[in-house]
Amino acid sequence: MLKRFLLTGFFLLLLPGLALVSLWAVLGLGEALGPSILLVLLCLWPALAALSLLLAWGLLLKKIWRFRGSGPPASLEQLQAQLLAINQMPGPVEVIRRRQRLGLSWRSQDLQWCERLSQLGLTRLYELHCRFDPATHTVFLLDRVRIADFLICPDRVRIGRGRIPLPLLRVRPRRLGTVGQYATLAPEHYQFHPREIKAPVMGTILASGWEVRFALW
Protein backbone atom coordinates (compact mmCIF):
# COMPACT_ATOMS: atom_id res chain seq x y z
CA MET A 1 0.00 0.00 0.00
CA LEU A 2 2.82 2.42 0.85
CA LYS A 3 4.36 1.88 -2.58
CA ARG A 4 1.03 2.65 -4.25
CA PHE A 5 0.63 5.87 -2.30
CA LEU A 6 4.21 6.93 -3.06
CA LEU A 7 3.74 6.28 -6.78
CA THR A 8 0.44 8.13 -6.74
CA GLY A 9 2.01 11.14 -5.02
CA PHE A 10 4.96 11.10 -7.43
CA PHE A 11 2.76 11.23 -10.51
CA LEU A 12 0.47 13.83 -8.96
CA LEU A 13 3.52 16.09 -8.84
CA LEU A 14 5.06 14.95 -12.14
CA LEU A 15 2.04 15.36 -14.42
CA PRO A 16 1.37 19.05 -13.62
CA GLY A 17 5.10 19.65 -14.02
CA LEU A 18 5.01 18.15 -17.50
CA ALA A 19 2.02 20.34 -18.32
CA LEU A 20 4.00 23.44 -17.32
CA VAL A 21 6.91 22.27 -19.47
CA SER A 22 4.56 22.04 -22.44
CA LEU A 23 3.41 25.61 -21.76
CA TRP A 24 7.03 26.76 -21.66
CA ALA A 25 7.60 25.02 -25.01
CA VAL A 26 4.63 26.81 -26.54
CA LEU A 27 5.91 30.16 -25.29
CA GLY A 28 9.35 29.34 -26.64
CA LEU A 29 7.90 28.88 -30.12
CA GLY A 30 6.16 32.23 -29.96
CA GLU A 31 8.61 34.13 -32.17
CA ALA A 32 8.63 31.45 -34.84
CA LEU A 33 4.86 31.00 -34.94
CA GLY A 34 3.83 34.61 -34.80
CA PRO A 35 1.61 36.43 -32.29
CA SER A 36 -1.73 35.38 -33.78
CA ILE A 37 -0.93 31.65 -33.78
CA LEU A 38 0.64 31.93 -30.33
CA LEU A 39 -2.53 33.53 -29.01
CA VAL A 40 -4.63 30.65 -30.39
CA LEU A 41 -2.32 28.08 -28.82
CA LEU A 42 -2.42 29.83 -25.46
CA CYS A 43 -6.22 29.83 -25.59
CA LEU A 44 -6.31 26.11 -26.41
CA TRP A 45 -3.60 25.08 -23.97
CA PRO A 46 -5.68 25.05 -20.73
CA ALA A 47 -8.33 22.73 -22.21
CA LEU A 48 -5.77 20.43 -23.85
CA ALA A 49 -3.65 20.31 -20.69
CA ALA A 50 -6.67 19.51 -18.49
CA LEU A 51 -7.83 16.76 -20.87
CA SER A 52 -4.34 15.27 -21.11
CA LEU A 53 -3.94 15.29 -17.33
CA LEU A 54 -7.30 13.61 -16.85
CA LEU A 55 -6.55 10.87 -19.40
CA ALA A 56 -3.05 10.29 -18.02
CA TRP A 57 -4.32 10.14 -14.44
CA GLY A 58 -7.05 7.67 -15.43
CA LEU A 59 -4.52 5.33 -17.05
CA LEU A 60 -2.06 5.57 -14.16
CA LEU A 61 -4.81 4.92 -11.63
CA LYS A 62 -5.68 1.62 -13.31
CA LYS A 63 -2.00 0.61 -13.39
CA ILE A 64 -1.07 1.55 -9.81
CA TRP A 65 -4.27 0.60 -7.94
CA ARG A 66 -4.56 -2.96 -9.16
CA PHE A 67 -5.35 -5.95 -6.94
CA ARG A 68 -5.22 -9.57 -8.09
CA GLY A 69 -7.86 -12.10 -7.11
CA SER A 70 -7.24 -15.47 -5.54
CA GLY A 71 -8.28 -18.85 -6.89
CA PRO A 72 -10.03 -19.73 -10.15
CA PRO A 73 -12.35 -16.96 -11.39
CA ALA A 74 -16.09 -17.38 -10.98
CA SER A 75 -18.38 -16.67 -13.89
CA LEU A 76 -19.75 -13.19 -14.42
CA GLU A 77 -23.23 -14.37 -13.48
CA GLN A 78 -22.00 -15.94 -10.23
CA LEU A 79 -20.10 -12.82 -9.20
CA GLN A 80 -22.98 -10.49 -9.97
CA ALA A 81 -25.39 -12.82 -8.14
CA GLN A 82 -23.23 -12.55 -5.00
CA LEU A 83 -23.38 -8.77 -5.17
CA LEU A 84 -27.09 -8.61 -6.00
CA ALA A 85 -27.79 -10.85 -3.00
CA ILE A 86 -27.08 -7.76 -0.86
CA ASN A 87 -30.60 -6.58 -1.70
CA GLN A 88 -32.00 -9.55 0.22
CA MET A 89 -30.03 -8.69 3.36
CA PRO A 90 -31.31 -6.45 6.18
CA GLY A 91 -28.39 -3.97 6.04
CA PRO A 92 -28.40 -0.39 4.73
CA VAL A 93 -26.67 -1.17 1.42
CA GLU A 94 -28.54 -1.58 -1.84
CA VAL A 95 -27.46 -2.65 -5.32
CA ILE A 96 -28.89 -1.19 -8.51
CA ARG A 97 -28.21 -2.62 -11.96
CA ARG A 98 -27.36 0.04 -14.51
CA ARG A 99 -26.96 -1.58 -17.94
CA GLN A 100 -23.72 -3.54 -17.69
CA ARG A 101 -22.77 -2.04 -14.33
CA LEU A 102 -23.81 -2.49 -10.73
CA GLY A 103 -24.09 0.52 -8.45
CA LEU A 104 -23.98 0.25 -4.65
CA SER A 105 -25.05 2.91 -2.19
CA TRP A 106 -26.98 3.48 1.04
CA ARG A 107 -30.74 2.83 1.18
CA SER A 108 -31.64 6.52 1.30
CA GLN A 109 -35.23 5.81 0.20
CA ASP A 110 -35.82 3.36 3.05
CA LEU A 111 -37.42 5.10 6.06
CA GLN A 112 -35.30 3.36 8.70
CA TRP A 113 -31.97 4.07 7.04
CA CYS A 114 -32.94 7.48 5.74
CA GLU A 115 -33.68 8.62 9.30
CA ARG A 116 -30.37 7.16 10.42
CA LEU A 117 -28.54 9.12 7.71
CA SER A 118 -30.39 12.25 8.80
CA GLN A 119 -29.55 11.72 12.48
CA LEU A 120 -25.86 11.39 11.64
CA GLY A 121 -26.00 14.67 9.75
CA LEU A 122 -24.63 13.24 6.51
CA THR A 123 -24.65 15.62 3.56
CA ARG A 124 -23.08 13.32 0.98
CA LEU A 125 -24.31 10.03 -0.43
CA TYR A 126 -21.51 7.68 -1.43
CA GLU A 127 -21.80 5.37 -4.43
CA LEU A 128 -19.56 2.60 -5.73
CA HIS A 129 -19.94 1.66 -9.38
CA CYS A 130 -18.70 -1.73 -10.62
CA ARG A 131 -17.82 -2.11 -14.30
CA PHE A 132 -17.17 -5.71 -15.37
CA ASP A 133 -14.76 -6.95 -18.03
CA PRO A 134 -15.42 -10.71 -18.43
CA ALA A 135 -12.62 -11.13 -21.00
CA THR A 136 -9.93 -10.30 -18.41
CA HIS A 137 -11.95 -11.16 -15.27
CA THR A 138 -11.50 -7.60 -14.05
CA VAL A 139 -13.87 -5.33 -12.13
CA PHE A 140 -13.22 -1.60 -12.35
CA LEU A 141 -14.36 0.24 -9.21
CA LEU A 142 -15.46 3.85 -9.61
CA ASP A 143 -16.05 6.11 -6.61
CA ARG A 144 -18.81 8.68 -6.81
CA VAL A 145 -20.42 10.99 -4.27
CA ARG A 146 -23.64 13.03 -4.42
CA ILE A 147 -24.63 16.02 -2.35
CA ALA A 148 -27.65 14.94 -0.30
CA ASP A 149 -30.22 16.70 1.85
CA PHE A 150 -32.37 14.43 4.02
CA LEU A 151 -35.25 16.82 4.73
CA ILE A 152 -38.27 14.63 5.43
CA CYS A 153 -37.50 10.93 5.06
CA PRO A 154 -37.99 9.41 2.62
CA ASP A 155 -40.37 11.67 0.67
CA ARG A 156 -38.28 14.84 0.50
CA VAL A 157 -34.76 13.52 0.08
CA ARG A 158 -32.76 15.62 -2.35
CA ILE A 159 -29.88 13.94 -4.16
CA GLY A 160 -27.52 15.89 -6.41
CA ARG A 161 -25.44 14.83 -9.38
CA GLY A 162 -22.63 12.33 -8.98
CA ARG A 163 -19.05 13.55 -8.97
CA ILE A 164 -15.63 12.05 -8.36
CA PRO A 165 -14.61 12.44 -4.71
CA LEU A 166 -11.13 13.36 -3.54
CA PRO A 167 -9.37 11.54 -2.04
CA LEU A 168 -10.81 8.40 -3.60
CA LEU A 169 -8.05 5.89 -2.73
CA ARG A 170 -9.52 4.52 0.49
CA VAL A 171 -9.04 0.84 1.14
CA ARG A 172 -7.47 -1.46 3.72
CA PRO A 173 -6.42 -4.67 1.90
CA ARG A 174 -6.03 -6.63 5.15
CA ARG A 175 -9.51 -5.71 6.37
CA LEU A 176 -11.73 -6.23 3.34
CA GLY A 177 -14.34 -8.76 4.48
CA THR A 178 -17.17 -9.91 2.21
CA VAL A 179 -20.70 -8.77 1.45
CA GLY A 180 -21.99 -11.60 3.65
CA GLN A 181 -21.27 -9.44 6.68
CA TYR A 182 -24.27 -7.24 5.85
CA ALA A 183 -26.50 -10.08 7.05
CA THR A 184 -24.95 -10.10 10.53
CA LEU A 185 -24.18 -6.47 11.45
CA ALA A 186 -26.58 -4.53 13.66
CA PRO A 187 -27.77 -1.03 12.62
CA GLU A 188 -25.67 0.68 15.28
CA HIS A 189 -22.51 -0.88 13.84
CA TYR A 190 -22.68 1.26 10.70
CA GLN A 191 -20.92 4.63 10.53
CA PHE A 192 -21.88 5.07 6.85
CA HIS A 193 -18.28 5.48 5.77
CA PRO A 194 -17.39 4.68 2.13
CA ARG A 195 -15.14 1.80 3.20
CA GLU A 196 -18.19 0.01 4.67
CA ILE A 197 -19.33 -0.46 1.06
CA LYS A 198 -16.03 -0.59 -0.77
CA ALA A 199 -14.15 -3.05 1.45
CA PRO A 200 -16.74 -5.90 1.50
CA VAL A 201 -17.43 -5.54 -2.23
CA MET A 202 -13.75 -5.54 -3.08
CA GLY A 203 -13.12 -8.52 -0.80
CA THR A 204 -15.92 -10.50 -2.45
CA ILE A 205 -14.62 -9.75 -5.93
CA LEU A 206 -11.06 -10.79 -5.08
CA ALA A 207 -12.26 -13.96 -3.33
CA SER A 208 -14.15 -14.82 -6.53
CA GLY A 209 -10.89 -14.87 -8.48
CA TRP A 210 -11.47 -11.57 -10.27
CA GLU A 211 -9.02 -8.69 -10.41
CA VAL A 212 -9.89 -5.25 -9.06
CA ARG A 213 -8.71 -1.98 -10.53
CA PHE A 214 -9.65 1.53 -9.47
CA ALA A 215 -10.79 3.82 -12.29
CA LEU A 216 -12.14 7.31 -12.93
CA TRP A 217 -14.72 6.26 -15.53
The 10s digit of each residue's pLDDT in 97-115 is: 988 899 999 999 898 898 8
pLDDT of residue 101: 93
pLDDT of residue 31: 64
What 3-11 contacts at long range (C-beta under 8 Å, 24+ apart), as own/partner pairs, is: 4/64, 4/65, 4/169, 5/169, 7/64, 8/60, 8/64, 8/65, 8/169, 11/57, 11/60, 11/64
Whole-number mean pLDDT of the chain? Answer: 83
Say yes or no to pLDDT of 30 above 80: no
Tens-place pLDDT, residues 160-198: 777 777 556 666 666 788 999 998 888 888 989 999 999
Q: What angle (nearest 5°) sits at the alpha carbon of residue 107, between those of residues 154 and 66?
A: 150
Within 8 A by CB and 6+ apart from 99, the residues are: none
For the chain, the first-to-last Cα distance in angstroms comes to 22
Summarised one tens digit per residue, pLDDT across range 143-169 is 999 988 887 787 777 887 777 775 566
As a whole number of Å, the CA-based R_g of the chain is 21
Chain-centre distance of CA 124, in angstroms?
14
pLDDT (tens digit, 9 = 90+) per residue, 31-57? 666 677 767 777 776 787 777 777 777
Question: Model-level pTM greater than 0.75?
Answer: yes
Residue 94 sits at the vertex; the CA angle it makes with 91 and 96, to the nearest 5 degrees, is: 165
Q: What is the pLDDT of residue 177?
A: 84
Cα Dmax for the chain: 70
